[in-house]
Structure 1
Amino acid sequence: MHADRRPRSVTRADVARYAGVSTAVVSYVLNDGPKAVAPLTRERVLDAVRVLGYRPNAAARALSMGSADMFGLLVHDNRSPFFAELCHALDQASADNGRSLLIVNSDREQVSTSEQIRDLVSRQIGGLIIADVLTAREQSLVEALGIPTVVIGQFGETDGLHSVGVDFAVGARGATAHLIGHGYRDIAFAGSAARYDERERGWRDALSAAGLPLGPLVHVPFTHQGGYEAGMQLMRGPRRPRAVMAASDQIAIGMLAAFGQHSVRVPHDIAVASFDGTVSADFVWPRLTTAVQPLEEMAHAAVSILLKAGDQRRHHEFSTELRVRESCGCTVV
């Protein structure tokens, strides 16, 4: 009889010994509680997890048995038209590669993003796709869990993780330049209320390159209601802009509702361009001129990265394409 020569799995006790702490402290770090852990101790534990290659039992078992045929997707809110289309593209790309997709919304109340990440990993997923902005602490947790991970649709490269996305600044700059090409000189921007948006930088760059002053700047949530509020703010401002660059189709559609309610004609009174290229952009009137994100290509790239994930982290960047419709003032046959 031959001895079983398979390598022994790294245990929580191994991590504790390496870090010089108790197994309880390791548990507190990986579960983000219930007791707080000093920052330096936490870093020692996470470093031990990375060095030893420790994985929570369920994920390690799935990977070692070759049964991890499901990916997990953490998405901010799949009710959003953009994220709904992204989820569909990722589901199709996963299916094309013989994988299923488990989708979890990160905007749930009373459940932290860290808890959701741990829950997904415990369900024997073979890889994790993140369509949300992670805090530094959440990213440290993902790296410590050691599961193949890719971030999709965020602003540029994500240090320490694979990432897929578009150049938001270049796309928004092109859409704003298109508005400038119509002769509009007072162009507003409506975008993220949460953080500085690369699309805002693209808007600024386009106006600066054309020697134009910045138009009104409105920060609102990425929702239809946020767009409606942006439209109301722009109409109540000291001067009404001649055009608006919206950071998403959802915001632009909300603005169309506000403008229409107050008899402001698009594009005759205010022209609009937007970002994302969702299906809904072609089913409002006027139809939206929008910078299209190539979701199918991005989804296939993300899945490919998970299937071939290596130690060298990379960012796969795509270009947007401006889809011209009537909201900017163009006549489309």
Structure 2
Amino acid sequence: MNDRRRPATILEVARQAGVSKTSVSRYYSGERERLSGAMRERIVAAATALGYQPNPMARGLKGGPSGLVGMLVADIRNPFSVAIMHGVEQACRQAGLSLMVCNSDNDLEQERQQLALLSSYRIEGLVVNATGRHSDALAQLADSGTPLVLLDRSLADVHADEVGLDNDAAIDMAIAHLREQGYGRLLFITEPPAQASSRQARLERFNQRCRDGSLSGDTLVIELGDRQRLDQALARFVDSAGDSRPAILCANGQVTLALTRRMKALGYLLGEIGLMGIDELEWCDLTEPGITTLAQPTGAIGQAAVDCLRARAVGPRQAPQRATFAPTLTARGSTQPAATPSATAEPSSVSSSSSTSETSS
């Protein structure tokens, strides 16, 4: 009698299905099309009855396809990282792949070590939310032929596919919404952009809109832990607005959280002073009167990343591709219209869209 306290083996599945061990191995190693339909059905039935789970690591160690996709994130504590990991994991699961996640903690040396670790597991592809600085290890991986996708980052020295938010569209959508709500003077706040191309892109787009006369605005680049400077900058901005209604646009979810805390601590009323953030966070609809956000379609971005990896694994070598996705606007009371300053705006949504363009290799 089999002891079901231990995992079922591939040999037991083969015996119960009445097939060879090689046939079962082929089924779980991506060669199932070589088996007849009836044989595949018997293998599935036997595996289900025995509770068999294939071991991706063992397949990799034997030199076959591992079924593993690696993912390296710059900051696993960031809510965006959590959301995008979920999107990538769902896409992997649907493709019959397993996801292995590592965190670099925004440290270049940690990034190098984690990349070496992921490579040792014979990953079939890699999704990277890089620290944002030059990386020899990433460049070598890309040049070696390992399917690689850069997530929410661009690196000049790494020739790889990229997926992420359409940052220009996000800034334009935010500005349009704030102006429609009657805000006449805007402040864009971001963390230092040097290590993140997405921050650079959002800051550059906002500055461009200011230069071409589209709006009256200021920018503030700040470390979020510097509360004194942040409070002083907020006071100066509000005082300088004059008769114009002031509003603040936050470059990401972490900035939105920091600004919400400081505005409430300083007694600023959300809505009278507009507040809007890029990235949707779970608490944004819980705090009164609700924070207006531009949510990234993390599910679609994660799916696109895995699709890129799979296409690279089987397709011919070609120039890196860049897929960008528009955000979804959810309007809440923090950006209420001027005509009804005491009202709380009902949530509304603008559907997202996507576009794909080719970058130079």
TM-score for the superposition, normalised by structure 2: 0.67
* AA partner of residue 188 (structure 1): L
Q: Which residue of 2 aligns with 1:316?
A: 323
Indicate which of 254, 258, 262 corresponds to 1:254: 258
Matched residues in 2 for 1:143 and 1:156: separation? 12
Aligned length: 269
Structure 1 residues 229 and 126 mapped into 2: Cα distance closer, same or farther (>3 Å)?
A: farther
With 237-246 and 291-300 compared, the bigger mean Cα shift is at: 237-246
* AA partner of residue 332 (structure 2): R
Matched residues in 2 for 1:109 and 1:318: separation? 28
What's the CA shift for 1:250? 2.2
- For each residue in 1:8-40, what CA deviation from the matched residue of structure 2 results, as whole angstroms up to 9, or x when unmatched? xxxxxxxxxxxxxxxxxxxxxxxxxxxxxxxxx
Q: Which residue of 1 aligns with 2:103?
A: 105
8 Å CA contact retained: 1:173, 1:205: no
Tell me the secondary structure at the aligned position of residue 179 of structure 2: helix
For residues 1-333 of structure 1, the aligned pairs below 5 Å read 62=60, 65-107=63-105, 111-132=109-130, 133-154=132-153, 160-195=159-194, 197-208=200-211, 211-215=214-218, 217-221=219-223, 225-226=224-225, 231-237=230-236, 239=239, 242-268=246-272, 270-309=273-312, 310=315, 311-312=317-318, 313-330=320-337, 331-332=345-346
What is the RMSD computed on CA atoms of the aligned residues? Answer: 2.8
* AA partner of residue 90 (structure 1): V
TM-score for the superposition, normalised by structure 1: 0.72
Tell me the secondary structure at the aligned position of residue 333 of structure 2: coil
Structure 1 residues 287 and 83 mapped into 2: Cα distance closer, same or farther (>3 Å)?
A: same
Matched residues in 2 for 1:77 and 1:322: separation? 25
* AA partner of residue 273 (structure 1): M
* AA partner of residue 323 (structure 1): T
8 Å CA contact retained: 1:218, 1:233: no
What's the CA shift for 1:231? 4.6
Matched residues in 2 for 1:234 and 1:95: separation? 46
8 Å CA contact retained: 1:71, 1:99: yes
- What runs of 5+ residues in structure 2 fail to find an aligned partner? 1-56, 338-344, 348-361
Matched residues in 2 for 1:145 and 1:162: separation? 14
Q: Percent identity?
A: 23
* AA partner of residue 216 (structure 2): P
8 Å CA contact retained: 2:76, 2:105: no
- What runs of 5+ residues in structure 1 fail to find an aligned partner? 1-58
Find the structure with the greater CA-based Rg.
2
What's the CA shift for 1:240? 5.3
Matched residues in 2 for 1:158 and 1:328: separation? 40
Matched residues in 1 for 2:116 and 2:133: separation? 14
What's the CA shift for 1:66? 3.3
What's the CA shift for 1:299? 0.6
8 Å CA contact retained: 1:155, 1:167: no
